[in-house]
Structure formats: C-alpha cells, structure tokens
Amino acid sequence: MFLQIFSQFLFNKILVLIKLCAYICSFIKTGRMRKRLLLVFIILLVLGGAFFYLYKNGMLSGKMLGGKDISEGVIEYDITYPKLDPNSMMVSGMPNKAYLRFKDNCTSNDMSGMMGLISITYIANSKKKAVEQRLTLINKKYASTISPEDLKRLNDSYVNSVQEGSNTQQIAGFSCKEAIVKLMDGKEAKVYYTNEIGITNPNWSNPYSKIAGVLMDFQMERYGVTMHLKAKSVLAQKVDESTFQLPADSVEYKRIDFSELEKILQDLNPASN
C-alpha cells in the first residue's frame, strides 16, 4: 500500500513538472534556453511514461523490491545434487539452473543441461487442471500429457507428511516459512516457502501439494536422482500466454505416451541405472 501511494505521488509530481516545463517553454524566446527546457521536458516525459507503465501494470513494487507481491514473472533457482559428487563428469552435464514462469496461477518449470542440448519443461495449467512434460533431446522434441493417475503416482511416491516448522528465512528477498517434510523413505527434509508471491495453490501438481505457498528452498527426486533447488531471484515480468498452452500442438514436438517419456528420462540418468 505504501509503495502504491508513493508511486502515485511521484508520478503526479512528474506530471506537474512536465506541465510546468511546457508552460515555461511557451514564454521563452531564446533558442538555446528553449532547447534546454525541451530536453528537460523530454526526460520528464520519458520518466513519467516509465512510471505510468510500471504502476498501471501493477509491477512497480516488484521492480523496486525484487518482485514482492507479484502474480506474473519468473523465479530463478540454483540446482545442486546433494547425493552426487559435485566434481563428477555426470554432475557437470546436469542442469544447474531452473526457471519457474508463472501467470494467472499457471506455472512452467524449465531446466536444461549439457549446454542446452537437453532440456525439460514441466507445465501445470491450473485453468485446465492439466499437466504436460516436454523433453528436448539434441534435435528431437517430445511432449506428453501426464494423466491424473500418473500424477498421483509420482507425487504420492515421494512425500509422506508435512509439518509446520518454527524457523523463517529470507530467500531472494522474500520472507519464507519452514516446513518439516517426512519422505516416503522415512527421512526428513526442511522446506522453505513464501506466501508473498501471488500464485494460488502453487503445488497442486507436485509432491508438496500440502504446502500452501511457493517453494523457495526444497528438494525433489526423480528416477533415482535427488535435486536441491533454492531460489536465487524473483523478477516481475510479462509472461506470454503460449508458455502454458496445452497440449503442445506445434509440429516440432512429437507426442508420446508418458510411460515412453519416463523410459527416455530413466535412460538419460546414469545414477539410476
């Protein structure tokens, strides 16, 4: 609320200065002085336009304070592999970054490895309650719809229970709460999440569905490989609607059954063989 009032106040002041410059210019006869005032007028006009754009699109506070209270943008995560040797050749070819794009409560998680030769995209379209996974493997592209049954099987095989923790952390500029997660193998893991990002029910399509907040520090396991993801930055920016389009009708993607896609992903992970 304070930032909205402050931004509106500042924008109004810029408008007043623009009008004042225009008014003074109408009385000045000297060419040099008029040029200087015209330059000031142009600068103020540009600044006013920028503030108007950011304010009207509801992103001024996000741009100024790292994306707080935003409902559209991208989260960048660092990825590490706690169960693998960080200096191994295998880890060097695996993804070390993930990008979660979000808009209208829909999400798209992208990660890539081997210098972009392999990339995986996980799309959860909350409007259609549909989930799709896409895989780019050098020059081949696959897309598969994950059925509700397969989604339940994947998610129920990892997290057993979730309990609220007592600690908090600041991660990527956001206040995060702790959750103590008991995994299906009996081990415990700490997860941190935030309620300061505007995604409703953000985990409905992943194993952390019992956590009502955006995951900022957590771990996942797929095909025998454990990944630890921690948010590095959050940026308010426009996200194209096509990012969440399901299914992928583009001719560049070959649609296959999810069981076939799982087999390909299983074969790509030497640690799981």
Instruction: Note the pLDDT tens digit of each residue in 220-253.
Output: 988 778 999 999 999 999 999 989 987 655 677 8
Q: Is residue 97 part of a domain?
A: yes
φ and ψ at residue 43, rounded to 5 degrees: -60, -45
Arithmetic mean of pLDDT, 179-202: 95
Is there a domain that residue 63 lies in?
no
> Residue 244 has what DSSP assignment?
G
In a domain, 132, yes or no: yes
Over the stretch 24-49, which tens digit does the pLDDT of each residue have? 556 555 666 656 655 655 565 545 55
Buried b (16+ CB within 10 A) or exposed e, 130-166: bbbbbbbeeeebbbbbbeeebbeebbeebbeebeeee
CA dist., res. 33 & res. 39, Å (int): 10
Asked whether residue 167 is assigned to any structural domain, the reply reads: yes
Domain that holds residue 84: 72-272
Q: How far apart are CA 189 and CA 125, in angstroms?
A: 28
Asked whether residue 120 falls in the same domain as residue 30, the answer is no
Separation CA 223–CA 2 (nearest Å): 47
Same domain for 81 and 50 = no
* C-beta of residue 213 within 8 angstroms of C-beta of residue 189: no
The continuous run of DSSP H or E covering 194 comes out as strand 188-194
Domain count of the fold of the chain: 2
pLDDT of the residue at 224: 76
Q: What is the structure's pLDDT at 42?
A: 56
| Residue partners of 194: CB distance under 8 A and separation at least 6 | 171, 174, 175, 176, 177, 213, 214, 216
Residues 36 and 79 in one domain: no
If asked whether residues 52 and 96 sit together in one domain, one would say no
Mark whether 85 and 206 lie in a shared domain: yes
Structure tokens at 167: 């600690």
The model's pTM is 0.73
Q: Are 173 and 212 members of one domain?
A: yes
The candidate with the shortest Cα–Cα distance to 205, out of 266, 130, 103, is: 130
Q: Are residues 44 and 134 in the same domain?
A: no
The per-residue b/e assignment along 72-104, b for 16 or more CB within 10 angstroms, e otherwise, is bbbbebebebeeeeeeeeebeebbbebebbbbb
Instruction: State residue 48's pLDDT score.
Output: 52
pLDDT in the model for residue 58 = 39
Q: For residues 50 and 89, state if they share a domain.
A: no
**Mean pLDDT over the full length of the chain:** 80
Q: How confident is the model at residue 112 (pLDDT cuts 50, 70, 90)?
A: confident
Q: Are residues 148 and 201 in the same domain?
A: yes
For residue range 138-152, what is the model confidence (pLDDT) as tens digits? 889 999 999 999 999
Most confident of 41-45, 57-61, 166-170: 166-170
Kindly state whether residues 81 and 128 are assigned to the same domain.
yes
- Residues 12 and 99 placed together within one structural domain of the fold: no
- pLDDT at position 26: 60
Contact 86, 79 (CB under 8 A): no
Of 81-90, 184-193, 262-271, give the range with the top mean pLDDT: 184-193
Phi-psi region of 110 (alpha: psi -120 to 50; beta: other; left: phi over 0): beta
CATH of the domain at 157: 2.50.20
Q: In the Cβ-directed half-sphere of 80, how many Cα atoms lie within 13 Å?
A: 10
Contact criterion met (CB below 8 Å) for 254 and 143: yes
Q: What is the pLDDT of residues 75-97, one digit of tens each?
A: 999 999 998 888 887 777 788 99
Write the DSSP assignment of 31-43 as a string of letters. HHHHHHHHHHHHH
202 and 133 within one domain: yes
